[in-house]
Structure formats: structure tokens, C-alpha cells
Copies of this chain bind each other. A is one copy, B any other.
């Protein structure tokens, strides 16, 4: 553990995942935020965009990273590569990419990005320098399937329906995030073709030793935070056995828990937790998995990974009060 604080830079500072990073990191005892970059808002207080931080920070957006020990990239598709190409970072500077540029193509200009699904790949993440943080749907679904895959218990296609909060679509204004449309509404998008299927497939293949088929229907929910995934696949093992396997698999995970009772989304919202519940019906094992899309599904897991990359206590700054309601 270092005695000096880790200097953190954040690129894409006005977006939602950057905001969540800031909310976490200003309470992190071993971190000092050295720059929050924005190409459009340099010079303005970050509280102009992240209004709820009023009173908690006087930081202003900048247009350059400074001399960070780690940079978090909160940028759009393709822009992480561009950032690394156009910015000069200190040689020792680690990189955590919250975008999807390196999840499926991990090698870039001599850097190898470890896939940051913390509860599955902790050993590779420990002390690594470059990390591709998983997608939000991908995290929720993979945590729901990893133990089954690792035990080679996936025998057939996997059926997934997952519903996400509107923050998943980000700060950018859009028709489907316009309140009169979104409120009290449900819709399906990118059915069977969501871009997170690739990273899910990679992990399932690594764990189970063979390719798996995942049929995935994503839905837009009428709430702001969280992902609820309903997952089932053929499996003759009874729920009790599968539950035991899952509890064993996640026994050292500080934020993943298996619930014996059915779960509801708000049990994890605004925390870094993932809750799982398992039932068996008609020859299927049915797994429900819930996370907060901005925390375990993005910035929370990113901080958890940063902690591991720097040899810190993994849970630092992540014991968040649940909000429950």
C-alpha cells in the first residue's frame, strides 16, 4: 500500500459514469482527484453538471490529465483509443477504460487490457496496469451465469431477459429518454443483438470451455438505476444444489450474495452489490440477478478494480449506504 495518495484523472467528466466515479472517489481515503477532463466544459465547476456534489467539492473541469497515477476513461465508443493516442500519460500511469473499446480486443499498442469482471477474474486484475471494465448488462448477466459455466453445467441455450434503468442511456437527450415517453413505459430494443453479447460469450467460453448460445432480450425500464436480469437454461440439478454452488463460488466476493428468498431490484440500487436468487422449474434452472448499472455495472466495479490494481483493500470507498426505497 502506498503512503502517498493515488492521483486520479477522469476523462469524459460530464457524463453519468464520471459523475458516479467522482461521488465515490471524493470519499476514498487513498485517492486524490488530480483532474476531471471535459473537452466542452473546461474551466467550469463540476457541480454545474453533477449538481448533487454541491458542498462536497470545488473541482473544476480541465482540458488535460495532469500527472495521474491512473486515468479512468468515461468516453463514447472508439474514443478511448483516440484518447490514448492523442494524450501523453506518465509511463507508470494505469488505465481503467469504462467504454467498450478494449473488452473484446484487449491488445492495443503494446498494452494488454485485462477484462475487469472482478468477481471472476480477480487474480488477473490484481496489480494489472490496463483494465477494460465490463458493460452493465454484461456484468449482471455474467455474474448470474459464471458459477454454472465454471462448473460445466451449461448444457443448452441460455435465455435472458434484462431490464435496465434510463441512466444506462447516459446524459445525452434522446426520444426514448424523454420523460413523457419513458415514464410508465416498457419497450424492447436490440433484441438478440445487443453489443454486450460478445463479452458475455467470451467469458462463458473461458469458464465453460466451449461456446455458449445466449438469447438476450434487453428492455428499457421506467426507472433510473439498476438492471434486473431473468436468466434460465436447462439444468437438472435442483435449486438447492445450484444455490450451494453459487454461494461457494462467491464466498470471497465482498459484494455478491445469493439470496434464499426472491429478490427485487431496489435491494441493490445505489450500492456496489449484486444479489442472485435461484429456483428450478420444469427442468430449467432460473436465476435472477440484480445490480446497480452505474455502480457494480460501471463506476463501482471500476473503483473495485482500481483498488485491486493498486493493492488496496478491495472494498475501500464502496461500503455504500443502501437506499432501499
Tell me whether A94 is interfacial, beta carbon within 8 Å. Answer: no
Cα separation A225 to B179 with both chains bound (whole Å):
11
A186 and B163 contact, CB distance less than 8 A: yes
A52-B268, A186-B226, A219-B230 known; A180-B192 Cβ under 8 A:
no
Query: Which residues of chain A from 260 to 293 have a CB within 8 Å of any chain B CB?
Result: 261-271, 273, 275, 279, 281-282, 284, 286, 288
Cα separation A217 to B232 with both chains bound (whole Å):
10
Contact with B along A155-199 (1 / 0, CB 8 A): 000010101011100010111011111111111110111000000
Question: Shortest Cβ distance from A123 into chain B, in angstroms?
Answer: 22
A183: contacting residue among B51, B166, B288, B294, CB under 8 A: B166
Of the candidate stretches A16-24, A96-104, A105-113, A144-152, the one touching chain B is: A16-24
B226 and A324 contact, CB distance less than 8 A: no
Question: Shortest Cβ distance from A220 into chain B, in angstroms?
Answer: 8
A52-B268, A284-B215 known; A167-B191 Cβ under 8 A:
no
Residues in A lying within 8 Å of B, measured CB to CB: 16, 19-20, 23-24, 27, 50-56, 159, 161, 163, 165-167, 171, 173-175, 177-189, 191-193, 213, 215, 217, 219, 221-226, 228, 230, 232, 255, 257, 259, 261-271, 273, 275, 279, 281-282, 284, 286, 288, 294, 319-325
